[in-house]
Structure 1
């Protein structure tokens, strides 16, 4: 049954195609798969533990076909798909997001068989022994690359696991920024050193979005002993906590797209979305900054810093290793929290230009405790399938399906 499109959205060069409220479970991270001519979108959730599978074969009428309950008191935010394997993250919920420190939680990753795409079958679990994993990378084969909260470390570190036997996954290697291994007496040299993830692996290099440490590039020719190639810091001048949130490297083009995540409610140092030259991995260089979104005519605020909620970039169309995701071309998509979806032309990496946007209507119901203050839309994630359909999620409303049309 087709749901009516909620009214009140504002758009430029982006058409609203379909909508689902997912039975009152706002979605978060997404991945997608075509199987025997049908398209399935897999989502995690912020305020509900578990995963939803949505049939988006007809993008005008998305159908929720299954909700798989997850463990209590546990974030189930992210999933990765390749062939018939799905990897789902499990993580301790932060107290400010509603987690109960006194209750048990599950952590690590679950490994699933999705040869039947609407009936995943659990194969195994890797446990960190700590807080679990946040955003992970899997492009098929034997190894999964984790942003993991391991015991004895301050912040998440990079961990590689071998899933050749999915029932008995084992660690294959790890790397951390010196200072994180506090159990061994190390002391962090500055705050917010943590691998946000996902690590992004291309051939023998791993690109890590490492919080206040910026973008870190590792040589993983020997998985058991990753070696640092370079770092590019963004803090200062940009804010420090998540000054490096996402990294999408495209070595064949010699560039990487990177961005921060600003949770200061617009009151701290500036956030950024940037393009970096990685043609020489030992010497990455900043090429350009994406321009700040400008409110539409008639908006009741001068800029998005004063609108309320979190402002700035969050997620990008990062799953370039997924064969069913649109490959990066001249259009670049950013989920921009209280500014909605922003679309940029990046044909000239020195001069990215905004060419479209979509701002969902403001939500009417608050599902979770964050962000605090004014209830405004918070566009969380964006994914574009190879048909060109754009999917965006929000902390306090349903799934939107869009199409760029200039």
Structure 2
């Protein structure tokens, strides 16, 4: 019965929408985690995060919302065991004079732009640790504060260490940091690594020119290697055997000639492969056609791109409005769906996609769902088009797909493969 009220997708192939939530009227979602039957959704404009009970996926129920500190956003988060880690950073999109024009955010140094305004430090920067032993009642137990804009995205799958992108005072933009979680009530920043030219306080000078942004989006870690994506700065493989002193294995950048935006890494260690998505960051492909690459990393010092994912083509997405191109990948986390051949991705105005890379030289799309456009715009930036912008994707251990959008809420999808 409830399915009659689901917003009809614009397109579906081998995927079926089975549940939808407007997240209690806060339809803006960025990163999401599904953990113990609850979806934790980070908000880019609603300044906090929400918790949705998805134990009945056809009838998701919003059960809590946690407000961010003043002038702060909580756009990324991680769950593991009884812990929820939530980033804190200056709410950049609330700064109407500086970053509401997307080009300003994606094509210049955020650290230097913020520092130039000499603003009073009136936001929370770093990370908050919550106890979620009661899944819908997070209880704050720890805090890591840093001097700077704050954290962007985290990677934590248990164990002693977490990893983050952090914009600290003195740096041009986000760098790689390691965090000791031995005592979750007192997390400690223990190591850092950056691309040469980013440490402005130490007198380093950038050599990448105007209109390009060298900034860590995030890293995924497997074993002693961190696979890190640096937007227009490309990809690094880092040896983190010594968490206090990460070492470079390889820096590889294909921008130019390609348009940068390197965003999401996914190591497939059993196959010596690495999938890397370049984010489309400007409307109507103004930043060029963006790709998701498959790398052969048998020799980590020499990653070789062997293929790219096929581009959605059943509609004219390039002129649909908004961003057309890759954003995030399902990350094979512990206790979630894990595969080294079936990859799930968000493609912004082209929705959610599944790809079979059994033959890594010939990726094949095996499913797609383009959700209906938003009925309400939570994104407050002027002039944003009212189209779907699928942001993040998480696939649970049962194979159900969860996806967020910047405005259109949470989708729950069955894959037919």
TM-score, reference length from structure 1: 0.92
d(CA) in 1 for partners of 2:62, 2:380: 25
Does the 8 Å CA contact 2:153/2:165 hold for their aligned counterparts?
yes
d(CA) in 2 for partners of 1:269, 1:405: 32
Aligned to 2:366: 355
d(CA) in 1 for partners of 2:404, 2:250: 34
Residues 172/373 of structure 1: CA separation in 2 closer, same or farther (3 Å cut): closer
d(CA) in 2 for partners of 1:9, 1:166: 44
Residues 219/103 of structure 1: CA separation in 2 closer, same or farther (3 Å cut): closer
d(CA) in 2 for partners of 1:8, 1:81: 29
Q: Equivalences for 1:54-203 in 2 at 5 Å?
A: 54-94=52-92, 95=95, 96-97=99-100, 104-190=122-208, 191-197=212-218, 199-203=219-223
Aligned to 1:321: 333
Q: Which runs of 5+ in 1 are unaligned?
A: 297-302
* 1:97 Cα deviation from its structure 2 partner: 4.7
Aligned to 2:110: none
Aligned to 2:105: none
Does the 8 Å CA contact 2:44/2:406 hold for their aligned counterparts?
yes
Residues 259/69 of structure 1: CA separation in 2 closer, same or farther (3 Å cut): same
Aligned to 1:29: 31
Q: Which runs of 5+ in 2 are unaligned?
A: 102-113
How many aligned positions are there? 391
Does the 8 Å CA contact 1:237/1:269 hold for their aligned counterparts?
no
Runs of 4+ in 1 over 6 A off after TM superposition: 98-103
Q: Equivalences for 1:341-380 in 2 at 5 Å?
A: 341-370=352-381, 372-380=383-391
* Aligned-partner SS, 2:216: coil
d(CA) in 1 for partners of 2:205, 2:18: 51
Aligned to 1:339: 350
d(CA) in 2 for partners of 1:357, 1:329: 19
Does the 8 Å CA contact 2:271/2:340 hold for their aligned counterparts?
no
* Aligned-partner SS, 1:28: coil
d(CA) in 2 for partners of 1:363, 1:132: 30
Aligned to 2:397: 386
d(CA) in 2 for partners of 1:171, 1:69: 25
Q: 1:276 aligns with which of 271, 291, 295?
A: 295
CA deviations 1:187-234 (Å, max 9, x no partner) are: 11113111011x111111111111222110111111111110012212
* Aligned-partner SS, 2:320: coil
d(CA) in 1 for partners of 2:251, 2:121: 38
* 1:167 Cα deviation from its structure 2 partner: 2.9
From the two aligned structures, give the one with the greater helix fraction.
Answer: 2
Residues 103/218 of structure 1: CA separation in 2 closer, same or farther (3 Å cut): closer
Aligned to 2:106: none
* Aligned-partner SS, 2:201: helix
Aligned to 1:300: none
CA deviations 1:33-57 (Å, max 9, x no partner) are: 12xxxx1111111111122111111
Does the 8 Å CA contact 1:317/1:334 hold for their aligned counterparts?
yes
Q: Equivalences for 1:237-252 in 2 at 5 Å?
A: 237-240=257-260, 242=261, 244-252=262-270
Q: Equivalences for 1:294-305 in 2 at 5 Å?
A: 294-296=313-315, 303-305=316-318
d(CA) in 2 for partners of 1:139, 1:123: 18
